[in-house]
Amino acid sequence: MPDTKTVLIVDDEPDAIEFVEAALSELGGVATLSANDGVSGLQRAKEAKPDLIVLDVQMPGKSGFDMFVDLKKETSTKDIPVIMLTGVADKVGIRFSGRDMGEFMGEVPEAYIEKPVDPEELKKTVSRLLGL
C-alpha cells in the first residue's frame, strides 16, 4: 500500500512499544518499526527514513534527548517529525515541555507527551503529524 506511513518507536520498555503499536494499529495506514535504545534507534532512523518517530526520553546508553539532537544534526533525518514521550514528571516531580527542550537542546520536537500516555491523545497527535 503506497500511502502507508511508517512510524519508528524507540523505547527501552517492551510494554511501552507494544502499547504504542496497539494504539497506532487502530489508525490504519500506519506501519511500525521499533528499537529499544537510542543507538539502535538512530541507526534504524537513518536506514528506514520513517515518516515519524515516537521517542522515549529516559533510556540507557543514548537518551532520547541525545538521540533527538543527533537526529536533527543528521541531514537524512533532520526533517522527520518527533514525538517525545516521557515519564520524567512522575519519577522526579518536575514537568518538562517541548519549549523547555528547545531552550536546552536548540530544537523543539513536534510534540511532547507525558506518560502514562493517553492512547487517544497519541492517535490524535500521530494523525495530525502524518496528515491522516
Query: Distances in Å between the alpha carbon of 87 and those of 6, 16, 68, 70, 115?
Result: 24, 11, 17, 21, 5
Domain with 32, as residue range(s), is 5-130
Residue 88 or 25, more confident: 25
Cβ contact 55:68 at 8 Å:
yes
Q: Rounded to an integer, what distance in angstroms lies between the CA atom of residue 94 and that of residue 106?
A: 20
Residue 19 sits in a domain whose CATH number is 3.40.50.2300
Alpha carbon of residue 42 to chain centroid: 11
Q: What is the predicted pLDDT for the residue at 89? A: 47
Q: What is the predicted pLDDT for the residue at 103? A: 55
The structural domain count of the chain equals 1
Does 38 have pLDDT greater than 50? yes
Give the mean model confidence (pLDDT) for residues 2-16: 92
Segment 12-32, tens digit of pLDDT:
999 999 999 999 999 989 999
Segment 104-117, tens digit of pLDDT:
555 678 888 888 88
